[in-house]
Amino acid sequence: MDYVIRSLVSNQITDIVMVVGYRKERIMSYFGDGDDFGAKITYVNQDKQLGNGHALIQARDHLDGDFLVLPGDSLMDARSVADLLSIGAGHGALVIESEMPAKYGVAVLDRNRISGVVDKSGEGASNVVLTGAYKLPASFLGVLERCVEGGDYNITHALNLSISQMKLEPIFGQGLWIDAVYPWDLLEVNHAALLNLTAQTAGKIEPDVLIHGEVSIGKGTTIRSGTTLYGPISIGSGCDIGPNVSIFSSTSIGDNVTIDPFTVVRNSLIMSDCSIGSHSLLSQSVLGYGVKVRSHLMASSADAYVNLEEEFYKVPNIGTLVGEDCAMGSGISIEPGTILGPKSKIMSGSRVTRNVPTGAIHS
Amino acid sequence: MCGIVGYTGNREAQEIILDCLKRLEYRGYDSAGLAMVSPGSLQLKKSMGEIAVLESNLGHMPGTTGIAHTRWATHGKPTTENAHPFLDCKGEYAVVHNGILTNYMGLKEELLKKGHEFTSETDSEIFAHLIEDAPGKDLKSKVLSVLKLVDGAYAIAVVEKGKNEIVAARNESPLVVGVGHDENFVASDVTALLKYTNEVIYLMDKEAVRITPDSIETFDLEGRAVKRDSQRVSWNLEDAERSGYPHFMLKEIFEQPRAIHESLLGRLESREEDSFFKSKFPSIKIIGCGTSYHAGLVGKYILEELSRIPTTTQISSEYRYSPVTESKPLVVCITQSGETADTLAAAKEARRRGCKTLAITNVLGSAITREADHVIYTRAGPEIGVAATKTFVTQLIALYLLGLELGTMSNTLSSERRRELIADMRSLPRVVQSVLNEASKIESLAENYKGAHSMFFIGRHINYPTSLEGALKTKEISYIHGEGYPAGELKHGPLALLSKDTPVIAICVRDHTYEKMLGNVREVSARDSPVLAIGSEGDQDLMKYAEEVFLVPRVDPLFSPVPIIVALQLLAYYLAMKKGCPIDKPRNIAKTVTVE
């Protein structure tokens, strides 16, 4: 979301309304009034998460004239926002050609306009996928409001109703757009976000640390002797890493993370407040906030079938996906493609070959 | 507490002054007023109640120089007459004052004899009349001669008819100068000015300043120029806005993981190798008021456990009455604002007695930092809600850091134990976040207790002071009488007060007090009191004893006050919200108490 806001600001779009709901406090505390981002952010609360149309209606009082709608959970670069703005006074929807599942539906095209919006599951549907990003006129809100009042909480129905009155152009984005539909998409999002990283060092780097490529290190972070960092790597503030840790690209590490000696991390995403004990391997993996690993964790990666809500997805080169506040003992080995639920506990010496549900204890 | 704002520049002053004044609202006040140097006369408006009321009464007051004030009554009732600013008899000077003058009675009698007419019951009004009679050719020399006559605490700002200048001075009450472009400011604190400038000059005690749109002169009370460099304040306005939260208090509760993280930054890996800690301290005395006092009570357990140095905690205003002891304790002064009058006075007294002093404060450059030999800053950012939340938690962090330092210096802490403690401290931001993630559960629990007139908070050992702080939060904002008690003391009295209408909040974490706490819970349940037990994650047994249970993540018992107080802050907040109380501005209390 940080990335989306920055993309907007670099296109001089600074008046931003955020519709927030579930765990809104985390978002509000992060962005504040937008000052740090060069934007003015107003928050609007959506009490129940009914649908994206319902969410948009909550912001109605703050919208006049044309406005942009962007989903907060996808990664969109400044170029994509510029594409959306390129239609000038017209209106449109940002689309891409893709075979991937479409959260926001696919567009039915009639020459250079969108003549309808349908679910991907429909027969003969196109591969022009909606990204959920639009440029719309204020008049659309009236239509949307009637739909929402009628219990139709998604934006799709209102779009189909308005298409006869307003010309909605398909805008084939040239920029970067990644939608985090599945947890493993986060690795791709992270990789893409790190491409623009510029090296910055605010922390303390002890002697004999090797740094290759772009590495950014936050304030109050200590990188101890013998550690090797192959960028792009982003490390937050207040971390303690090493001695003798190896971290490879493209890895992002949040704030207040400790990584003990002889641990190897490759292309992974480690969120704030995690601690990883010594002699561990973490490859192509995601650790949520506050994950604790005692030592000797083996989380290697391979092509694997990942079980997500009883459906299997074939994912290339994937490691372990760990939910927030999971606590692991020492000497644990995890089969590639395994998901460990939030607040789960993995006892020392375990070999984990299947997903562990939320809060469960695996021994 | 009272707040002062002054502006002189090239723009119309009314809107700017009111805007700054509103940012002082959080200090607590009961009336407000504004004086403007308008063409031909000094204009004056005051009113009871909120600044919004004053604003609606103002109309347009032309002028580019003015002073304003929010008053929190000490001498004289909260009435329009007693609101500042005050004019002299001829209407040539207007004065705002924050503080208490100790010799005003005598001065007032003399002025009355000379035929001056007073319009208020305040001590402050004498300033206007004294200036009227004072010798001197300009405002600066008149104000200086008046300041030689008065005793006590003051921050004042004065304007004169027809002059684009403000003369201000301070002694034991806060005052800062804001440096702008072709305009300058004075105010009681930086928060008021952030929208216009982040460059400020801190005045010292017994110093004065004369500002015009394009000059700032600082001088002592003899009129000799003193050089004071301006400092850049790193807080920005955004920090002082609510950012989507309904109340500052809730915003600040949710900022605690960040505040703890900031307070720990760079302080865990490397030690503070400061010569200050090389001295051996025979004992430690912690002083503070209100919430800071409660942090000090927790601090006693922390410092004794980690450093084995005997520690006592005392309320600031009582310190001066304690006898001078032969051994000289380290005196730790805790004050959020760094301006708390009682704590400042105690710090001065401690120095006079030859003790080393250490301050724990949240405000860079505040008065206490000039008094103390060593300072540990809490990095909580500005706290606007009157009920202290994130500053309490970061004060605890500062005490843990102090404990680690003293423990290491006095060799009472093994390196292995130190390593464990540091790992635990690092987990605190996340631990607090986990409690915050359960806020909705506390919100629904609050529903059960909102009808109560009285509640008890009980705990043992380090969580006894936690229970006191939980009770204080409840009193302050939800207006429910809350009483914190050591659980073992219930049977020596307060049990008599318990009934089905007095809920009891029992802190039952899994430490060496756990079994005894269960006994106390049974004891109060037998009197039909509904019990909410705050316990450690994974505790299955607690539900058998208490009606309601709220579990917080498990940490070393030494750190348990941190997650628990966050839960109790949320409980107090939701109780107040459900009762419709004015959470950020509770009645009769002020944020920064600059009077004794």
Compute the count of residue pairs across chains A and B with CB atoms less than 8 Å apart. Answer: 79
What CA–CA distance (Å, rounded) separates B260 from A34?
22
- When pLDDT is averaged across residues A221-250 and rounded to a whole number, the result is 95
Alpha-carbon gap, residue B344 to B354, rounded angstroms:
16
pLDDT at position A147:
87
**pLDDT at residue number B246:** 85
Burial of A233 by CB count in 10 Å (0-12 exposed, 13-18 middle, 19+ buried)? buried
Task: Provide the pLDDT for residue B235.
Answer: 62
Q: What percent of chain A has pLDDT over 90?
A: 44
Whether B117 contacts chain A with CB within 8 A: no
Residue of A nearest to B431 (CA): A290
pLDDT band at A63; cut points 50, 70, 90: confident
**Whole-number pLDDT of residue A122:** 57
Residue B322 pLDDT level (bands cut at 50, 70, 90): confident
pLDDT digits (tens, 9 = 90+) for B541-570: 899 999 999 999 999 999 999 999 999 999
| Dist. CA B521–CA B519, nearest whole Å | 5
* pLDDT tens track for A110-154: 878 888 887 766 555 678 888 889 999 988 888 888 888 888 888
Q: Which of B255, B264, B437 sits opposite A29 (nearest CB)?
A: B255
Domain B438-582 class in CATH: alpha beta
Chain A: closest CA distance from residue B538 (Å):
11
* CA-based nearest distance A254→chain B, Å: 12
Residue A277 token pair? 């004990």
B477-496: average pLDDT? 89
Contacts of A36 in chain B (CB under 8 A): 238
Q: Which residue has the tokens 């594409």?
A: A83
Which residue carries 């724990």 as its tokens? B360
Q: Which of residues 179-238 of B touch A (CB under 8 A)?
A: 236-238
Q: Which residue of A has its CA nearest to B250?
A: A25
Using CB atoms, which residue from B238, B254, B430 is nearest to A290?
Answer: B430
Q: Would B242-435 and B438-582 be classified into the same CATH topology?
A: yes
B439 in A contact zone (CB under 8 Å)? yes
Q: Is the pLDDT of residue B345 over 90?
A: yes
Question: By percentage, how much of chain B surpasses pLDDT 90?
Answer: 60
Chain A touched by B243 (CB under 8 Å):
yes
B434 shares contact with chain A (CB less than 8 Å) = yes
Comparing CB atoms, the residue among A219, A237, A273 nearest residue B430 is A273
Chain B contact set for A23 (CB, 8 A): 437
DSSP string, B557-589: GGGTHHHHHHHHHHHHHHHHHHHT--TTS-TT-
pTM (predicted TM-score): 0.76
The alpha carbon of residue B243 is apart from the nearest alpha carbon of chain A, in Å, by 5
Average pLDDT estimate for A184-203: 86
**Region A338-360 average pLDDT:** 95
Average pLDDT over residues A176-185: 80
B255 at A interface, C-beta within 8 A: yes
Question: Which residue would you say has higher pLDDT here, A354 or B228?
Answer: A354
* pLDDT confidence of residue B427: 94
Count Cβ atoms below 10 Å from residue B56 Cβ, excluding itself: 10
Q: Give bridge partners of residue B483 from the DSSP assignment.
A: B456
Mutate to test the interface with A, among B194, B237, B243 (most CBs of A within 10 A): B243
Residue A102 is predicted with a pLDDT of: 67
**Closest in A35, A237, A325 to B238, CB measured:** A35
| Rounded mean pLDDT, B60-64 | 91
Say yes or no for a CB contact (<8 Å) between A34 and B238. yes
pLDDT at B306 over 80: yes
- Residue A92, pLDDT above cutoff 80: yes
Answer whether A32 sits within 8 Å of B434, measured CB to CB.
no
Cβ contact, residue pair A35, B423, below 8 Å: no
Tell whether omega for the bond before A250 is within 30 degrees of 0, i.e. cis: yes
Please compute the mean of the pLDDT values over residues B263-275 and round it to a whole number: 74
Q: Give me the mean pLDDT over the B10-19 stretch.
A: 92
Q: Mark yes or no for CB contact A273/B427 under 8 Å.
A: yes
d(CA A278, CA A354): 24
Domains of chain A (ranges plus CATH)? 2-181 (3.90.550.10), 194-362 (2.160.10.10)
- Least-confidence region, from B216-230, B299-313, B387-401: B216-230
For residue B1, what pLDDT is reported?
Answer: 61
Measured between CB atoms, does B271 come within 8 Å of chain A?
Answer: no
pLDDT at A184: 87
Cα separation, B43 vs B48, whole angstroms: 18
Average pLDDT over every residue of B279-308? 94
At A305, phi and psi to the nearest 5? -95, 125
A302-308 and A311-318 strand pairing: antiparallel
pLDDT score recorded for residue B592 = 63
Q: Is pLDDT larger for residue A96 or for residue B307?
A: B307
Digit-coded pLDDT (tens) for B191-236: 888 888 888 898 888 899 999 999 999 999 888 998 888 887 766 5
Among A160-174, A255-269, B478-492, the range scoring the smallest mean pLDDT is A160-174
Which residue, among B253, B267, B269, B569, would best test binding to A if mutated, counting the most A CBs under 10 Å from its CB? Answer: B269
In this prediction, residue B384 carries a pLDDT of: 83
- The reported pLDDT for the residue numbered A281 is 97
The Cα–Cα gap between B384 and B182 comes to 29
Distance CA A197, CA A192 (A): 10
Q: What pLDDT score was predicted for residue B271?
A: 60
Q: Does B10 touch chain A (CB under 8 A)?
A: no
B265 contact A CB<8A: yes
A33, A204, A275: residue with CB nearest B426? A275
The one-letter amino acid code at A105 reads G
Half-sphere exposure of B22 (CA within 13 A, CB side): 13
**What's the pLDDT at B241?**
65
Chain A nearest-CA distance from B508, in A, is: 22
* Residues in B touching A275 (Cβ below 8 Å): 423, 426-427
Q: Looking at the complex, does the CB of residue B426 fall below 8 Å from at least one CB of chain A?
A: yes
Q: pLDDT-derived band of residue B364, with 50, 70 and 90 as boundaries?
A: confident
With beta carbons under 8 A apart, name residues in chain B contacting A24.
244
Closest CB to B426: pick one of A23, A29, A258. A258
Q: What is the mean pLDDT of chain B?
A: 89
B434: which chain A residues are within 8 Å (Cβ-Cβ)? 290, 325
For position A319, what pLDDT does the model report?
96
Task: Note the ipTM here.
Answer: 0.78
Q: Which chain A residues touch B236 with a CB distance below 8 Å?
A: 35
CB B397 within 8 A of CB B239: no
The CATH T-level fold of domain B3-238 is Glutamine Phosphoribosylpyrophosphate, subunit 1, domain 1 (3.60.20)
Query: Residue B423: its chain A contacts at CB < 8 A?
Result: 258, 275
Q: What is the pLDDT of residue B432?
A: 96
Residue B264 near chain A (CB below 8 Å): yes
Indicate whether A195 pLDDT > 70: yes
Q: Given 3.40.50.10490, 3.30.930.10, 3.40.50.720, 3.40.50.11930, which CATH number is that of B242-435?
A: 3.40.50.10490
Predicted confidence band at A279 (pLDDT cuts at 50, 70, 90)? very high
Question: Is residue B238 over pLDDT 60?
Answer: no
Beta-carbon-side half-sphere exposure of residue A250 (alpha carbons within 13 Å) = 12
Identify the pLDDT of residue A321: 95
Q: Which residue of B has its CA nearest to A33?
A: B243
Cα–Cα distance between A253 and A240 in angstroms, integer?
Answer: 11
Residue B273: per-residue pLDDT: 63
Domain boundaries defined on chain B: 3-238, 242-435, 438-582
- Kindly determine whether residue B238 and residue A325, on different chains, have CB atoms separated by under 8 Å: no
HSE-CB at B166 with a 13 A cutoff on CA atoms is 33
The whole-number pLDDT of residue A124 equals 57
- Predicted pLDDT of residue B360: 96
Candidates B245, B265, B439; nearest CB to A238: B265
CA distance to B17, B130, B170, per residue, from B155 (Å): 17, 16, 4
Residues A275, A297: contact at Cβ < 8 Å?
A: no
Q: How far apart are CA A103 and CA A179, in angstroms?
A: 9
Strands A40-45 and B176-179: unpaired
For the stretch A292-302, pLDDT in tens is 999 999 999 99
Residue B225 has what DSSP assignment? B
Q: Is the pLDDT of residue B240 over 60?
A: no
Using one digit for the tens of pLDDT, what is the confidence trace for A248-274? 999 999 999 999 999 999 999 999 999
DSSP H or E segment with residue B31: strand B31-38
